[in-house]
Amino acid sequence: MEARGSLAEMKKFLGTAKLTNLIRDRTRKLEPKRRNQCEGVNGQPPHTPTADEKPLGFSHNPWRSRLAILQDCLIKYREGGDPITSETIYYIPDLDCFEQEFIEAHLPWENSGKILCKRCDREWTATGRAPENGATPELMPPAIADQTSGTATGCPAVETQTNIQQLTVELIHQRLTNAEVLAGVRKVFPGRASMNTVAWYRSHLIHDRSTRFDKLRAGRIPPASAR
Nearer to Zn ion, 33 or 204 (CB): 33
The binder of Zn ion chosen from 10, 23, 38, 145 (CB under 5 A): 38
- Measured from the CB of residue 76, what is the shortest distance to Zn ion in angstroms? 36
Number of residues that bind Zn ion (CB under 5 A): 3
Nearer to Zn ion, 37 or 160 (CB): 37
User: Judged by CB under 5 A, which stretch of 35-43, 123-131, 142-150, 201-209 contacts Zn ion?
Assistant: 35-43
The binder of Zn ion chosen from 23, 75, 115, 120 (CB under 5 A): 120
Burial class from Cβ neighbours inside 10 Å (0-12, 13-18, 19+) for residue 30 reads middle
Tell me if 144 contacts Zn ion by CB under 5 A: no
User: Judged by CB under 5 A, which stretch of 33-41, 88-96, 107-115, 172-180 contacts Zn ion?
Assistant: 33-41
Burial class from Cβ neighbours inside 10 Å (0-12, 13-18, 19+) for residue 213 reads middle
- Measured from the CB of residue 44, what is the shortest distance to Zn ion in angstroms? 7
User: Judged by CB under 5 A, which stretch of 31-39, 55-63, 91-99, 170-178 contacts Zn ion?
Assistant: 31-39
Nearer to Zn ion, 126 or 206 (CB): 126
Nearer to Zn ion, 117 or 216 (CB): 117
Closest CA to 202 of 187, 216, 183: 216
User: Judged by CB under 5 A, which stretch of 34-42, 92-100, 163-171, 213-221 contacts Zn ion?
Assistant: 34-42
Nearer to Zn ion, 99 or 121 (CB): 121
Nearer to Zn ion, 44 or 136 (CB): 44
- Measured from the CB of residue 141, what is the shortest distance to Zn ion in angstroms? 21
Which residues, other chains included, contact 222 with Cβ-Cβ below 8 Å and sequence gap of 6+? 170
Q: Which residues bind Zn ion (CB under 5 A)?
A: 38, 117, 120
